[in-house]
Amino acid sequence: MFAAATAASLCFSDMECSMIRAVTRWYMCGFVTVCKLLWCRRRRSRRRPVRMLRQLLVSVAALCVAAQSTAAPEPGEENINEVLAGGIAPPTVAPARGDESRGPFPRLLLRNGFLIDGTGAPPRGPVDILILNNRIAEIRSADKGAVSNVTAPDGTEVIDAGGKYILPGFIDAHAHLGSTSHAPAGSLTNPEYVLKLWLAHGITTVRDVGATMGLKWTLQHRELSAKGSIAAPHLLVFAALPATIASPEQARAWVRDVHRKGADGVKFFGAAPAIIAAATAEAIDRDMRTAFHHAQLAVTRVNVLDSARMGVNSMEHWYGLPEAMF
């Protein structure tokens, strides 16, 4: 009861609460058994100490089993494992794309659109844009007759952009392909909805910061997107360093593990400065990017200036910057 109350008051996760209860239970059992042994020795009993010793050995064995059953989950899967342990069904995988998604095309011609090129220059047009093998090959003013008045060769996909604007694809630098926080509603996020919603808003590249639905699951969608098997933006996947990391050496090993799995970067929420520094250094050594959500309860140890000096690439949500100014 004490262990459960303490774990709840400190806001531990369900998995951590279970581990605390199990370890406390077996430690208390061992403590009681040792007390009985000492009492029997004082009474100079011979048979009871044997029985008490047997109970102690059983308690130690049970403690070992409990420790194994609460072993650390696979790197990158910490978040999703807690949710699945609560009985929630695993997240689904986005289905193969259908008629709503076409391309890529060897030769694509966008006709009569107004171009906003992203450089800060005003819109210009109408223009025709010729794209060969996913590369812009030519941009010409449509009213000059350079492209528009020429019949497109066979095999050219032509899109009439008259009265429309043509822009580079948007990049969502902080997003999540679903969230385990949806689990209390009874199910996890439908990835198909999220992926197509991004595309409908012109987003063609997404940085998933945390892979909270599981690193393997998120990487699976990254690969399906790269192959053109699903309707989805390009994905960059960052794994979230868990709060259970206890040492710089363990942090480096965790980063190596998620790198081997294919993670593009690492996200931090907060930890001891030595742990953040070690994980960041390991990520830099492996050409991985880093992002830091300076959690309000951890920013007193590492703020934006601290993490920037360590080499972290980006701060998230603006957190940690105000604290760095005082």
Give the Cα separation of 100 and 114 in Å (integer). Answer: 24
Residue 110 banded pLDDT, cuts 50, 70, 90:
very high
Q: Which domain holds residue 48?
A: 2-71
Let me know whether 152 and 57 are in one domain: no
Residue 326 banded pLDDT, cuts 50, 70, 90:
confident
Let me know whether 174 and 158 are in one domain: no
Residue 25's pLDDT is 47
Domain for residue 94, yes or no? no
The length of the chain is 326
**What is the signed CA dihedral for 307, 313, 317, 323, rounded to 10 degrees?**
20
Residue 150's pLDDT is 56
Let me know whether 174 and 159 are in one domain: no
Question: Domain tally for the chain?
Answer: 3
Let me know whether 150 and 276 are in one domain: no
Phi, psi dihedrals of residue 129, rounded to the nearest 5°: -125, 120
Let me know whether 199 and 305 are in one domain: yes
Residue 155's pLDDT is 85
Let me know whether 206 and 273 are in one domain: yes
Domain for residue 77, yes or no? no
Domain for residue 231, yes or no? yes
Let me know whether 273 and 200 are in one domain: yes
CATH of the domain at 136: 2.30.40.10
Phi, psi dihedrals of residue 118, rounded to the nearest 5°: 85, 0
- Using a cut of 0.85, tell me whether the model's pTM lies above it: no
Beta strand extents in 7-92 (DSSP E only): none
Backbone CA torsion sign across 71, 77, 83, 87: negative
Let me know whether 210 and 298 are in one domain: yes
State the number of CA atoms in the 13 A half-sphere of 300 facing the CB. 1
Strand order from edge to edge, sheet including 170-175: 170-175, 203-210, 234-240, 265-268, 289-292, 314-315
Let me know whether 129 and 213 are in one domain: no
Domain for residue 85, yes or no? no
